[in-house]
Every structure is written in structure tokens, then in C-alpha cells.
């Protein structure tokens, strides 16, 4: 029994779409390799996934050489060949573009996206990267907490020192007021004792009439 006819339309299920893309991409790359090997043809294949990830195959040692050959044949003019400076700039552009797309794809993988086409080895690498990132984040978080704790301890010590200074000043002020009160009481007491010890000097204390000759 043969396979049923596949309807040519966009696959709505995300996982199924990723699996189908991986299978058909590998098949297309294999066909391109076989074509170049069996027929001695110069083949260049460029594939971008729905998320922008780049997949490519080139039978020659340099993809750019094949692309420039295509541009030359397509324009059918010698003027279409870019100068050496433009060629170098275009090569740098392709390298940077590939690098950016790789970083974007890696970022999506770390966020848990586009994991369907990845192999077990690639999944292990992503897991190790996430573990290393978590360790770095936890270490930085602990350092920030320790710095905050040290700052709070320093402020606590400063407040405690200020409190001790205020307590000492208050004790000094209380002691000074107490000495003044004792001195004033001693002066009042001394005057009373003088009046008690010398009653003969007070005429109001004499008893009986006074006779005069």
C-alpha cells in the first residue's frame, strides 16, 4: 500500500513542522551532495529555517565563489564582477550575517525554542551552557547579597556608636545637674545649722522680762 498524497500547504502544528523541516532539509542536502558527486556538478545550496537559521552546502571549497559565478552568468557582463575590495567586503558581510544568525538561533535554543531539529549532542551542549549561566548568576546574586549585608552591618555600627555617644552625653549632663543640686542643699543646710548652734544672737529667743537699772 503506497503512501497517501501529501497536501502542499503550511503545517500548522509547530512540532510537526519542525520535524518535517529537519527531515526534508537533510534529504535535500543529501541530494545536493549526490548530484555534485555523481555528475561532477558545482552545487551550492542555501536554506533558511522559519526562525532564520542558516543551512548550506557547497561542492566547492568556497560558497562565495559559486555565488559570484552565478552573478556573473546571470548578468552576462564582465562589469558584473565586483572589484577586489567589494569582494572582500561581501565576504565579511556573509561571515557577519552567518554569525548573527547563529547567535540568534542559539538564543532561541536557550529559550527552549526550535529544539526539534537538534541532536542529542546539541541538546547536551545547550544544557551545559544553561547550567554554567545559572552558576554564574547565582554567584553574582550571592555577592550582591553579601555586599548589601556588609553595608547594613556598617550602618548598624554607625547608629550604635551614635547612640553610645548620646547616652554618654546624657549621663554627663545628669551628673552635672546632680552635683549642683547637692551643693545648693549644703549651702541651705549650713545656714540652718548656724542659726541652731548660736541661739543667743537671736533676741527673739530670750525668755522673761528684761530689767534695767
**Per-residue pLDDT tens listing for the chain (213 residues):** 456 666 788 888 888 888 988 899 999 989 999 998 999 889 999 888 888 888 888 888 788 888 888 888 877 654 545 556 667 777 888 888 888 887 887 777 777 777 777 788 888 888 888 888 889 899 999 999 999 999 999 999 999 999 999 988 888 888 777 666 555 555 555 444 444 444 444 444 444 545 444
Q: Tell me if residue 46 falls in helix, strand or coil.
A: strand
Q: Which residues of 99-116 are buried (b: 16+ CB within 10 A; e: fewer)?
A: eebeeebeeebeeeebee
Q: What are the sequence ranges of the domains in the chain?
A: 11-77, 85-117, 121-174
Contact 32, 42 (CB under 8 A): no
From the list 108, 128, 144, 77, the residue with the least C-alpha distance to 14 is 108
Domain 11-77 of CATH type 3.40.1810.10 = yes
Q: Residue 183 corresponds to which cell in the numbers above?
A: 551643693
C-alpha cell at 97: 550575517
Provide the CA 54 distance to its chain's centre, in angstroms: 29
Angle between helices 120-197 and 84-110 in degrees, nearest 10: 70
Amino acid at each position: 500500500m503506497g503512501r497517501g498524497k501529501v497536501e502542499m500547504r503550511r503545517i500548522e502544528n509547530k512540532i510537526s513542522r519542525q520535524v518535517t523541516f529537519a527531515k526534508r532539509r537533510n534529504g535535500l542536502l543529501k541530494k545536493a551532495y549526490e548530484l555534485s558527486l555523481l555528475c561532477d556538478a558545482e552545487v551550492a545550496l542555501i536554506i533558511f529555517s522559519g526562525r532564520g537559521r542558516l543551512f548550506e552546502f557547497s561542492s566547492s571549497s568556497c560558497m562565495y565563489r559559486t555565488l559570484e559565478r552565478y552573478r556573473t552568468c546571470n548578468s552576462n557582463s564582465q562589469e558584473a564582477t565586483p572589484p577586489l575590495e567589494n569582494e572582500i567586503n561581501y565576504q565579511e558581510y556573509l561571515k557577519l550575517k552567518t554569525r548573527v544568525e547563529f547567535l540568534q538561533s542559539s538564543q532561541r535554543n536557550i529559550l527552549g525554542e526550535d529544539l526539534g531539529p537538534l541532536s542529542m549532542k546539541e541538546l547536551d551542549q545547550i544544557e551545559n551552557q544553561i547550567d554554567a549561566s545559572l552558576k554564574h548568576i547565582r554567584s553574582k546574586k550571592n555577592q550582591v547579597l553579601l555586599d548589601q549585608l556588609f553595608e547594613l552591618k556598617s550602618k548598624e555600627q554607625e547608629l550604635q556608636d551614635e547612640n553610645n555617644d548620646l547616652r554618654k552625653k546624657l549621663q554627663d549632663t545628669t551628673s552635672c545637674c546632680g552635683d549642683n543640686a547637692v551643693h545648693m542643699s549644703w549651702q541651705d543646710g549650713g545656714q540652718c545649722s548656724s542659726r541652731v548652734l548660736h541661739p543667743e544672737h537671736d533676741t527673739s529667743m530670750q525668755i522673761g522680762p528684761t530689767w534695767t537699772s
